[in-house]
């Protein structure tokens, strides 16, 4: 099938949530994703925070969608099964100047209708240094890649076509439709949803002269070993650094029990420069230790970076509101520009809004057979009785492949059997967590590769780590004649 | 006779032993701290040999490769020829550790012996 | 859920677990059970196809698989029960083990447990190498498994970081299999592996060894494209003018091993920060009654011979009824000693000590003192951090009764 009514460009959290919302209706939808899986870019490389809205400018779209989105998370999580936890957040003030900032933040929060904000002088965090803190109970955490996968896979089982490793090269308006040229052929669509993230300007440029610029801003993170998970219960943020329009170095617990330090904020020229730097990694540890003196010097198990799509440069304060609108110059092109933090939180609300924009073009008729694929509990989260029952049903539940996180062979096979057709090592990692422990795949990688070979008949020379050209191997040692 | 420096491998000190050798005769000049070092340096100067270990492709086995070694140390200069022959050899499961995989590999007089047992694949 | 009751349960069927199991049986344990998470026995040995194993123990230089085979045959002969492809999920102070395999969940009650879980490799993030995060970065052990077990070559243009024996062995292995090995990079001023391996893995094949160097950057958006190496000074600071970019598609990390004690930590087994493994007495017993530790999860050994020797002691003591403890004394590492095992002595007798030094030295004297009284002295021609030093001291009851620390140090 090459003709669609809606083409979503970009399979990140925004594109996937929009695709899922649309999948309820009888609308032929396709998602083009140039990476080898959904959540290939910023959608997996962020803090995984469900923001409350205290950090957004009142009356902005950021504030509106953040607060609306926040309220939709519980229901979404119940429906699709991805994990969330409302840990709450403390914004820490170390001195009187900073306490004044807390009061300002509380005000902003009130303006944005953020409930139950409270300035406290004694906080429930024995390891944190502070004079006073703003307690934000509606802030929470989620695994951004798990959530994106849940939304995308649910869209896929409801007939949204996901085309991975498919890059949009050119778009032309042809009569009332768009002719979309990709590396995997040509497609036609009535509507384009530009949720291409950092590449949103490239897409606009294919159809019109953009009236905006994007300013890539890199955020680096450190991931700490689960051994240290009992240092904090809630998120710990310093008072926001005004100059950059970003949040500063945070300490965020994850659903799985790790701790994230970061992000940093560095304006860069190359939007694909997802490196981690020595300077920043050291700075993250130093700044985090100022908030939590008992943070260990060792214990980093991973580091990563994500690139924010900012619409304002550093010398203009680095802050600009979201632009979510149908292009006036190119009807049918719905742009989502500058979707940076609180993008993850805003996604469910943004998707509902985009639905409304789409409904101006098509009548949204609900499907009667809307399916739900609910994320199942992990083997290691089940009771002993449930575990025994599963092993009896299918013995591959009984073989543990990822020893750090206790992930079974069955879960790896399920991950590789995903409805999107993603078959990289990271596709396994982000679905069932194998490889995300402290040994970082030291034990499980060889076994996952063996499963790919045996159960999925994959050619070892074709196995990739995460993206189309990230091959794991170059050749066989001894060639086997066929 | 040209001078040569040989790193002794008998113990972890790794003395650098200076010898004078023309391939047929050898005189130790300096560097060794013990008698074993002396003997090692002489044999290394006149007749350097190595035990080679590698893998041979297995057909119909529960593992695709069987690890192998040379039955005795072979002359250093024959290493690449031996490796070449090992590369092109195919063997069939079942294999028992100790089985001779290649007799007289690259005409060195040494055999290539399996160091692992491989069962027939189920 | 299946329930078992055994005399000795051994977690790990690598060389330590196998030796401990055989020894437990030889010393009277009736029901001995070994559990291993892999489908094969021998732990890491089946992929160590190079020779050099067992020279001290048997006089012959065996390959890893051959050494493993020796012990596996012993296990079979002695009717030791094996649960392979079985993961231990937890164990507790009462020596009840929870394990799982394809047959289901298992609860094993043991009179003694021997921990032989081995170790894991340090990763890129243990030393936080900055740069891109491409494919093509492997720890040396994982690359070794792919080449030797699974018939897969990870890459064609290789740089190796770390000159320990695993790194050196892999340099030669990759060269044998047709890859270009651009060099081995080592931050210290000397190679950490044996001179034998420097000669037979690097010198023999003209593979350069960059001493006083480390990798300071990794480049490659999808697959590795290059690494940048730089020289360091005595304080380990990078000399920026010395930076050199090496084009490659594979980076092998041979950064060192971390004893695997995640399960042990959870139940309050006290660990020694210097070894990474449990604190044990001369019987290899941890601070928890009936739980013993041996092999690489106790300390990272340099030769399998010394490892097996210790494992046999651990197995033996796991089988015998534990003797009554007297006043215990602590063993303290003194001058130039990084660590010493056992860390506690609870009974008199001939005690075998293993230790590692902080820096290489020649012509030193090992001195052991209790309460400033010299009780042992030994001249050593050489010591270096890469090699475990072994020695035996007779400790009698009078020495134990003092309750004072036994201090071991090296004097020039």
Structure confidence at residue A245 (pLDDT): 42
- B43 part of a folded domain: yes
CA–CA separation, C5 and C161 (whole Å): 46
Domain span holding position B41: 3-47
Residue C190 makes CB contacts below 8 A (sequence gap 6+) with C211, C360
Per DSSP, C131 falls in state B
d(CA C10, CA C292): 9
Pair B6, B12: CB distance under 8 Å? no
User: Of the candidates C203, C237, C255, which is a domain's last residue?
Assistant: C255
Selecting from C65, C176, C387 the residue whose C-beta is nearest the C-beta of B115 gives C65
Backbone angles phi, psi at A13, to 5 degrees: -65, -35
State whether C15 and C104 are in the same domain: yes
Residue B19 shares a structural domain with residue B63? no
pLDDT at C321: 67
Alpha helices of C37-80 — where are they, by DSSP H? 55-58, 64-77
Judge whether B98 lies within some domain. yes
Beta bridge partners of C107: C3, C98
Which of C35, C87, C248 is CA-nearest to residue A443?
Answer: C87
> Could you give the CA distance from residue C306 to residue A129 in angstroms, rounded to a whole number?
48
Q: Is B100 domain-assigned?
A: yes
CB-based contact C290:C113 (threshold 8 Å): yes
DSSP strands (E only) in C178-303: 180-185, 209-210, 213-219, 226-231, 244-247, 250-253, 257-259, 291-293
For residue C247, what are the contacts with CB-CB under 8 A and spacing of at least 6?
A: C157, C225, C226
Q: Quick check: B55 and A477 CB within 8 A?
A: yes
Q: Is residue C364 less than 8 Å (CB to CB) from chain B?
A: no
C163: Cβ–Cβ under 8 A, 6 or more apart, which residues?
A: C184, C185, C186, C188, C191, C192, C193, C198, C209, C211, C254
The number of folded domains in chain B is: 2
Question: With contacts defined as CB-CB under 8 Å, which chain A residues touch C118?
Answer: none
Which pLDDT value is given to residue A247? 45
Report residue A255 CA to chain centroid gap: 14
Query: What is d(CA A433, CA A405) in angstroms, rounded to the nearest whole number?
Result: 7
The 3-class SS string of A437-477 reads CCCCCCCHHHHHHHHHHHHHCCCHHHCECCCCCCECCCEEC
Number of CB atoms found within 10 A of residue C308's CB: 27
Check which CATH number belongs to the domain holding C150 and give it: 3.50.50.60
> Do A446 and C150 lie within an 8 Å CB cutoff?
yes
Regarding whether C292 and C145 lie in a shared domain, the answer is: no
Q: Are A232 and A127 in contact (CB under 8 A)?
A: yes
pLDDT at position A481 is 65
User: With an 8 Å Cβ cutoff, is C87 touching chain B?
Assistant: no
CATH of region A84-141+214-316 = 3.30.9.10
How far is the C-alpha of A236 from the C-alpha of A133, rounded, in Å? 9
Cα torsion for A386, A388, A393, A396, to the nearest 10°? 110
Pairing mode, strands C62-63 and C51-53: antiparallel
Cβ atoms of C400 and C350 closer than 8 Å: no
User: Is the same domain home to B65 and B40?
Assistant: no
Rounded Cα gap, residues A390 and C105, in angstroms: 11
Q: Write down the pLDDT at residue C241.
A: 96
Share of chain B above pLDDT 70, in %: 100
Do C299 and C369 lie in one domain? The reply is: no
- B120 located within any domain: no
pLDDT tens-digit map of B4-48: 889 888 877 788 899 998 878 888 888 887 888 888 888 999 999
Q: Kindly state whether residues B62 and B108 are assigned to the same domain.
A: yes
Q: Nearest C-alpha of chain C: how many angstroms from A465?
A: 6
If asked whether residues C67 and C142 sit together in one domain, one would say no
One domain for residues B105 and B64: yes
Q: What are the average pLDDT values for consecutive 10-residue runs of chain A, which has 482 residues?
A: 94 98 98 98 97 94 97 97 97 92 94 96 92 96 98 98 98 95 97 98 98 97 94 93 60 96 94 96 89 89 97 91 97 97 97 97 96 94 97 98 96 98 98 95 96 97 97 93 58
Put simply, whether C180 touches B (Cβ < 8 Å) is: no
For A384, which residue in chain C has the nearest alpha carbon?
C105
| B43 and B63 assigned to the same domain | no
A480 vs B: CB within 8 A: yes
Of A319, A243, A241, A263, the residue nearest A60 (C-alpha): A319
- C-alpha span between B115 and B111 (Å, rounded): 12
Beta bridge partners of C149: none
Q: Which chains touch A (3 or more CB pairs under 8 A)?
A: B, C
B42/B67 same-domain check: no
Domain coverage including residue C270: 1-121+258-322
Touching partners of B (3+ C-beta pairs < 8 Å): A, C
**Domain match, B27 and B74 both:** no
Q: What is the pLDDT of residue B25?
A: 84
pLDDT value at residue A242 = 64
Bridge partner residues of C223 (DSSP): C135
Which of C302, C322, C342 is the last residue in one of the domains?
C322
Residues C317 and C397 in one domain: no
Q: Please tell me whether residues C234 and C265 are part of one structural domain.
A: no
Helix (H, G, I), strand (E, B) or coil at A174: strand
Same domain as C94, residue C161: no
CB A240 within 8 A of CB A307: no
Position B105 in a domain: yes
> Which residues on A lie below 8 Å from B56 (Cβ)?
478
Q: State the DSSP string of B36-51.
A: HHHHHHHHHHH--EE-
Q: How many residues does chain B have?
A: 122
One domain, residues C4 and C86: yes
Distance separating alpha carbons of residues A327 and A62, to the nearest angstrom: 19
Whole-complex ipTM: 0.96
* Measured torsion, CA atoms of residues A183, A184, A186, A188, in degrees rounded to the nearest 10: -110
pLDDT at A244: 52
Residue C408, classed as helix, strand or coil, is strand
- Distance in angstroms (rounded) separating the CA atoms of residues B109 and B115: 19
Strand duo C119-121 + C213-219: pairing: unpaired
Contact C51 B57 (CB under 8 A): no
Classify residue A102 by burial, with Cβ atoms within 10 Å: 0-12, 13-18, 19+. Answer: buried
Identify whether B94 is preceded by a cis peptide bond (ω within 30 of 0): yes
Is B22 a member of any domain?
A: yes
Total tally of structural domains belonging to chain C: 3
Find all residues with CB under 8 Å of A211, minimum gap 6, and list them. none
pLDDT of residue A155: 98
- A361 is an active site residue: no
Residue B40 lies in a domain: yes
- Is there a contact between B55 and A480 if contact means CB atoms under 8 Å apart? no
Contact state of A477 with C155 under an 8 Å Cβ cutoff:
no
* Residue A270 · residue A126 · CB < 8 Å: no
Tens-level pLDDT at each residue, chain C (412 residues): 899 999 999 999 999 999 999 999 999 999 999 999 999 999 999 999 999 999 889 988 999 999 999 999 999 999 999 999 999 999 999 999 999 999 999 999 999 999 999 999 999 999 999 999 999 999 999 999 999 999 999 999 999 999 999 999 999 999 999 999 999 999 999 999 988 899 999 999 999 999 999 999 999 999 999 999 999 999 999 999 999 999 999 999 999 999 999 999 989 999 999 999 999 999 999 999 999 999 999 999 999 999 999 999 999 999 996 676 777 899 999 999 999 999 999 999 999 999 999 988 989 999 999 988 999 999 998 898 989 999 999 999 999 889 999 999 999 8
**DSSP label at A240?**
P
Position B33 in a domain: yes
Q: Where along chain A do its domains lie?
A: 84-141+214-316, 379-462
Same-domain pairing of B61 and B43: no
Both B43 and B58 in one domain: the answer is no
Torsion sign (Cα): A37, A41, A43, A46: positive
């Amino acid at each position: 099938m090459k003709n669609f009514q809606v083409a979503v460009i970009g399979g990140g959290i925004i594109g996937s949530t929009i695709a899922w919302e649309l999948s309820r209706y009888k609308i032929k939808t396709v998602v083009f994703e140039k990476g080898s899986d959904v959540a290939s870019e910023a959608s997996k490389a962020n803090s995984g925070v469900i923001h409350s809205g205290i950090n957004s400018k009142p009356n902005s779209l950021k504030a509106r969608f953040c607060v609306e989105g926040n309220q939709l998370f519980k229901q979404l999580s119940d429906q699709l099964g991805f994990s969330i936890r409302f840990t709450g957040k403390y914004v820490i003030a170390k001195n009187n100047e900073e306490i004044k900032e807390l009061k300002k933040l509380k005000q902003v929060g009130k303006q944005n209708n953020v409930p139950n904000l409270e300035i406290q002088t004694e906080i429930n965090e024995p390891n944190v240094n502070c004079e006073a803190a703003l307690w934000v109970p509606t802030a929470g955490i989620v695994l951004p890649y798990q959530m994106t996968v849940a939304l995308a896979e649910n869209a896929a089982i409801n007939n949204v076509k996901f085309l991975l490793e498919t890059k949009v090269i050119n778009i032309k308006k042809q009569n009332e439709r768009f002719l979309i040229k990709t590396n995997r052929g040509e497609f036609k669509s009535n509507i384009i949803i530009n949720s291409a993230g950092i590449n949103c300007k490239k897409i606009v440029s294919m159809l019109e002269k953009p009236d905006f610029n994007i300013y890539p801003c890199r955020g680096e993170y450190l991931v700490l070993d689960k051994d240290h998970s009992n240092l904090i219960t809630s998120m710990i943020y310093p008072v926001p650094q005004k100059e950059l329009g970003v949040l500063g170095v945070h300490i965020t617990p994850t659903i799985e029990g790790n701790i994230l330090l970061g992000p940093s904020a560095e304006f860069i020229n190359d939007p694909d420069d997802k490196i981690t730097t020595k300077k920043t990694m050291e700075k993250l540890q130093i700044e985090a230790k100022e908030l939590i003196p008992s943070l260990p010097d060792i214990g980093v198990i991973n580091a990563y970076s994500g690139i924010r799509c900012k619409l304002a440069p550093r010398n203009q304060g680095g802050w600009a509101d979201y632009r979510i609108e149908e292009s006036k110059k190119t009807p049918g092109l719905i742009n989502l520009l500058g979707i940076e933090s609180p993008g993850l939180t805003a996604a469910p609300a943004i998707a509902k809004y985009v639905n409304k924009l789409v409904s101006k073009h098509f009548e949204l008729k609900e499907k009667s057979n809307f399916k739900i694929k609910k994320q199942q509990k992990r083997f290691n989260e089940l009771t002993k009785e449930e575990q025994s029952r599963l092993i009896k049903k299918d013995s591959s539940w009984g073989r543990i492949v990822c020893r750090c996180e206790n992930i079974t062979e069955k879960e790896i096979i399920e991950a590789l059997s995903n409805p999107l057709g993603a078959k990289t090592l990271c596709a396994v990692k982000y679905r069932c967590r194998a490889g995300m422990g402290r040994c970082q795949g030291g034990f499980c990688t060889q076994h996952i590769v063996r499963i790919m070979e045996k159960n999925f008949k994959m050619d070892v020379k074709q196995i990739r780590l995460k993206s189309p050209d990230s091959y794991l191997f170059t050749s066989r040692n001894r060639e086997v004649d066929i | 006779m040209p001078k040569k420096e040989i790193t002794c491998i008998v113990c972890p000190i790794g003395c650098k032993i200076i010898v004078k050798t023309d391939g047929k005769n050898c005189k130790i000049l300096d560097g060794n701290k013990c008698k074993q070092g002396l003997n090692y340096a002489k044999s290394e100067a006149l007749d350097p040999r190595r035990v080679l270990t590698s893998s041979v492709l297995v057909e119909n086995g529960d593992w695709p490769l069987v690890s192998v070694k040379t039955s005795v140390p072979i002359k250093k200069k024959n290493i690449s020829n031996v490796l070449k022959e090992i590369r092109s050899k195919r063997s069939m499961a079942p294999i028992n550790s100790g089985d001779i995989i290649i007799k007289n590999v690259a005409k060195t007089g040494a055999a290539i012996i399996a160091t692992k047992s491989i069962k027939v694949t189920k | 859920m299946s329930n078992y009751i055994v005399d000795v349960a051994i977690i790990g069927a690598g060389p330590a677990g196998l030796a401990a199991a055989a020894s437990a049986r030889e010393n009277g344990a009736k029901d001995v059970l070994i559990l291993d998470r892999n489908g094969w026995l021998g732990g890491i040995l089946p992929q160590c196809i190079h020779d050099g194993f067992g020279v001290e123990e048997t006089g012959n230089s065996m390959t890893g698989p051959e050494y493993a085979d020796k012990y596996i045959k012993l296990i079979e002969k002695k009717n030791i029960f094996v649960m392979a492809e079985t993961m231990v999920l937890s164990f507790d102070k009462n020596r009840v083990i929870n394990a799982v395999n394809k047959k289901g969940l298992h609860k094993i009650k043991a009179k003694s447990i021997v921990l032989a879980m081995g170790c894991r490799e340090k990763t890129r993030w243990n030393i936080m190498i900055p740069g891109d995060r491409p494919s093509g970065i492997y720890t040396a052990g994982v690359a070794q498994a792919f080449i030797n077990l699974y018939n897969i070559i990870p890459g064609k243009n290789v740089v190796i970081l770390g000159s320990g024996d695993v790194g050196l062995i892999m340099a030669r292995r990759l060269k044998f299999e047709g890859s270009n090995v651009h060099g081995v990079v080592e931050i210290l001023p000397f190679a950490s592996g044996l001179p034998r391996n420097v000669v037979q893995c690097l010198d023999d094949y003209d593979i350069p060894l960059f001493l006083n160097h480390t990798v300071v950057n990794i480049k490659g958006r999808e697959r590795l494209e290059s690494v940048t190496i730089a020289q360091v000074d005595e304080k380990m600071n990078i000399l920026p003018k010395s930076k050199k970019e090496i084009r490659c598609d594979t980076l092998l990390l041979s950064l060192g091993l971390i004893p695997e004690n995640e399960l042990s930590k959870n139940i309050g087994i006290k660990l020694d920060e210097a070894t990474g493994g449990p604190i044990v007495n001369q019987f290899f017993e941890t601070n928890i009654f009936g739980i013993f530790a041996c092999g690489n999860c106790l300390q990272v050994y340099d030769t399998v011979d010394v490892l097996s020797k210790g494992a046999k002691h651990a197995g033996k003591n796991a089988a015998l009824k534990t003797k009554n403890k007297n006043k215990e004394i602590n063993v303290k590492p003194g001058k130039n000693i990084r660590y010493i095992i056992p860390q506690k002595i609870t009974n008199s007798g001939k005690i075998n000590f293993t230790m590692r030094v902080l820096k290489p030295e020649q012509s030193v004297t090992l001195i052991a003192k209790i309460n400033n009284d010299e009780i042992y002295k030994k001249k050593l021609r050489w010591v270096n951090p890469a090699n475990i030093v072994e020695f035996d001291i007779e400790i009698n009851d009078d020495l134990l009764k003092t309750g004072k620390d036994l201090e071991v140090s090296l004097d020039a």
